[in-house]
Amino acid sequence: MSTASDAIVRLQELAELRTATAVPLAPYTRFGIGGQARLFCETAGIETFHAALGCVQESGMRHVVIGGGSNLIVADEGFDGAVLRFTGEHLAGTRNRLRIQAGLPLQTLVDQSIALGFSGIETMTGIPGTVGGAIYGNAGAYGRSVNECVESVTYTDGEHVCMLSNEKCEFNYRESIFKRRKDWVILYAMLSFGEGDPVLMKRKADEIRAIRDEKYPPSMKCAGSIFKNCFFAKLPPHVQSLIPDKVVREGKVPSAWFLEQVGAKGLRVGDIQVASYHANLIYNDGEGKSADVVRIITDLKQRVRDTFGFNIEEEVQYIGF
């Protein structure tokens, strides 16, 4: 097995791989917080990324893969290892099928699909991040999820490049097999779409975007909703009896409802604040710290547990803790 220093030398020799040391990670997250990565590597080349991942795995160096950073909380101390990022954005296809590299911004895919008259993901307009991240977390909005369009996903484990069918991806609400197998990194996916009227789809998308931008202004340093919504049928019976019928939507209860009941709105630690108008929105109101984000999240989970007797679960992912 090669050492970490050997791996760094090998990574720096990969022609299409951009490498740098002591790179601040805050600019790569929506929260805009977090310390430095010991080593930062990114490339748009599939073969180069595959080789880089294999290199750090062989060396035993701590490593993590990031995408658009929309759901990341990076520790204030940073990450003492290698951060890898695949930035390939190529999109190609015929008829209603598209082969899309994981680094493509999700918004670009939404805009392109609407222009082509491909329906299925127009309701996801305004969701930040990349296509790879959207598949990883099975992103969705307004009753639709990205898994409904996925035919197959191609990934690398650092040794082999493999393809999974939709069924093998084990999609569920805000879940996929890739969340459990973090050593599998999405490279590209084949998506198929229905047919739609570009004018009507754009009108609908613009309406959704206006609502989203009001709730989550593009300039706001936040990760969107922090906690997953809760399946009503999986809640304890005594909790089900407390929930007004009008709160249940498509079989789920917004976590914001539980958070409102425990006084989350307006809660603040340092420059990290829960929005006064949305209990499931935490944002960085200045020069916030990751430790304060974690402190608020921990507090909110405890309040819900103490009041209702069950655990709410984050959507966000942690690096360096």
User: Which has the closest alpha carbon to 293: 74, 37, 36, 68?
Assistant: 74
Sign of torsion over alpha carbons 80, 65, 16, 49? positive
In the annotation, is 315 catalytic? yes
Active-site entry in 225, 255, 290, 303: 225
What does DSSP say about strands 36-43 and 79-86: parallel, antiparallel, or unpaired? parallel
Cα–Cα distance between 29 and 318 in angstroms, integer?
Answer: 11
**Amino acid letter, residue 39:** L
Cα–Cα distance between 87 and 160 in angstroms, integer?
Answer: 19
Cα–Cα distance between 155 and 160 in angstroms, integer?
Answer: 8
Active-site entry in 85, 174, 212, 303: 174
Q: Residue 291 CB: number of other CB atoms within 10 A? A: 17
Query: Would you please indicate which residues are annotated as catalytic (active-site) residues?
Result: 174, 225, 315
